[in-house]
Chain A
Amino acid sequence: MRNIVLRANDGADHVISVAAASLCKTVASLLQDLEASKGEDTDPLIVPLPNVCNCTLQKVLGFCEQQRAFDELCTASPAAQQADLTRQIQAWQMEYMQVSTDELYHLVMAAHYLNVPRLLDLCTDAMAERIRGKSPAQVRECFGLKPSLSPEEEEEIRRSNLWALN
């Protein structure tokens, strides 16, 4: 089977399995185009990803490889073990999402660009978790946002959202 190499924007290469690559819909689509143009060639297929840095790509690929392994386990395991497996997956995902807000920002962008739906769900959920229960000032602090509303604008917005801000 032909090797697949994903090339990050700094030139770093990562060899990945076809099954894991198929979880990235953008890569899967690029692969189809590349295979069609290269025919029976046995050289590795190199997929350039100019929008993803090496560090983030490594993290995304870690997700894809692990999810592929979990998918295989789910298919092979009897129904009685599925609940236990689901708990294992959730625990792994929780550990995987222990990243800084900056890393999470890059991860959500990469998950979107590479079109990995399950990772995108996980990332948006993690982002939402960082907003949940926080005051507007705490949300600003968490995401490094500077106040962009004038006092008058803020007052107006507060008036129309009183029920949530009281």
Chain B
Amino acid sequence: MESINELPNHLVALIMQQLPIDERCRCCVVSKAFNTLNSHLQLGPALHIRPQQVADAHFASWAAGRLTGVTGLHVLPCQSAVDRIAQSNLTAGLCALLSMCGGGALKSLTVSDTISLSQLALRHLPGSLEEVSLSVAFDDSCMENKPHGTYAFPASMPHLRRLRLQVTCMNVRSYGLVTMPSSLPTSLETVWVGTRARGRRIGPSLLMPKASDLPNIKEIELDATCFICHEGDSSLAAFLSALPKLESVRLRSDVRAVDYQSALTHLRGLKRTHWEAL
């Protein structure tokens, strides 16, 4: 029988490219030829990893130096309850991986919304990102919106255009009010923010940022029991009217709290407005 070892290296490389990275790594102990081929493996441009890999220190040390070509990092959902990993381990692992994606190549980060990270993850996002989708969960401290607090974006994220953020409050004792993270990048064009509460029947309300924090926003989509605005904006309609580039608004809120339908109908010059009950 002819052997796969007799195939030219570039053909074996084509075969290996079809396999996920853990399968490729396992092949390293198959033969010398397989090891040579896989030991120089560089990851990317799109990298899909499982939560176990994110939290695995062995994976992080193996991945060091192999992530510079990754432009899109996707953390897949947990496959079963057995896969569930402590939030702190996942967050620390992800922050370590993000710090290795140097060189400004990483443009997109997507973490399955079945995985809740600590708010610390936000502070470690690389400045090169254009698109972020993740979920943070924290314990009755969602008001921690301070300029240098832990619930904040890094000081410089000049390319971030799309943000999808799920905020979950756990064990909420007080008003169930969540804020947007501080230091919102002014480059944002599309924002989706969803809120959830664990251990509480009614979901949290969302304290809106100042309109001046979102000068380039075009599309905004928010899910919360109701939306609380800063003094200067006074009402949601005033807040939305103060966003100069806004084209589309989509809101989901508790029908028993405030009727936003009428507020949206008075907005002029928007291409799309939509409200629905949570």
Contacts and interface: CB of A to CB of B under 8 A. Distances in A.
Q: Say whether A and B bind each other.
A: yes
Interface of A: 101-102, 105-106, 108-109, 112, 120, 124-125, 127-128, 131-133, 135-136, 139-140, 143-145, 147-149, 153-154, 157-158, 160-166
A149 B33 CA distance: 10
B19 A105 contact: no
Interface stretch (B53-61, B79-87, B161-169, B194-202): B53-61
B14 A120 contact: yes
Q: What 5 A-B pairs have minimum CB-CB distances, sorted nearest first?
A: A164-B25, A128-B18, A163-B58, A163-B59, A162-B58
Interface of B: 1-8, 11, 14-19, 21-33, 35, 39, 53, 56, 58-59, 62
> Taking each of B4, B5, B35, which has the highest tally of chain A beta carbons within 10 Å of its own beta carbon?
B4
Contact of B2 (A102, A139, A149, A166): A102
Given A102-B1, A131-B19, A163-B58, A139 B11 contact: no
Say whether chain A's binding surface is mostly helix, strand, loop, or mixed: helix
15 contacts: A105-B1, A105-B6, A124-B11, A124-B15, A124-B17, A124-B18, A131-B27, A132-B23, A145-B4, A147-B31, A148-B31, A148-B32, A163-B58, A164-B24, A165-B25
Given A143-B3, A144-B1, A149-B32, A163 B62 contact: yes
Given A105-B7, A124-B14, A163 B53 contact: yes
A135 B26 contact: yes
A128 B26 contact: no
B29 to A, nearest CB: 5
Contact of A143 (B4, B29, B35): B4
Given A105-B4, A157-B35, A163-B58, A128 B29 contact: no
Nearest to A112: B11
Nearest to B56: A163
A134 to B, nearest CB: 8
A101 B29 contact: no
A165 B32 CA distance: 16
A133 B20 CA distance: 10
Contacts of B53: 163
B18 A125 contact: yes
Nearest to B19: A128
A136 B7 contact: no
